[in-house]
Amino acid sequence: MNFSQKTASTRLFSLFMPVYILTFASLINEMRIKKNVGLKM
């Protein structure tokens, strides 16, 4: 693995990281909403 490959993978990682965080956050919100709906019913 040379330097250019390393920087490319790092760039790819930094691009995808916010996507993973957003997906995770939306999943948690969905679970929380479902839990609240279940409690109200």
Give the pLDDT of residue 18: 93
- Give this prediction's pTM: 0.54
Q: What percent of the chain has pLDDT over 70?
A: 95
With a cut of 50, list the residues of the chain below it in pLDDT: none
3-state secondary structure of 1: coil
Taking the C-alpha atoms of residue 11 and residue 34, their distance in angstroms, rounded to an integer, is 36
Q: Please, is 5 exposed, middle or buried when counting C-beta atoms within 10 Å of its C-beta (0-12, 13-18, 19+)?
A: exposed
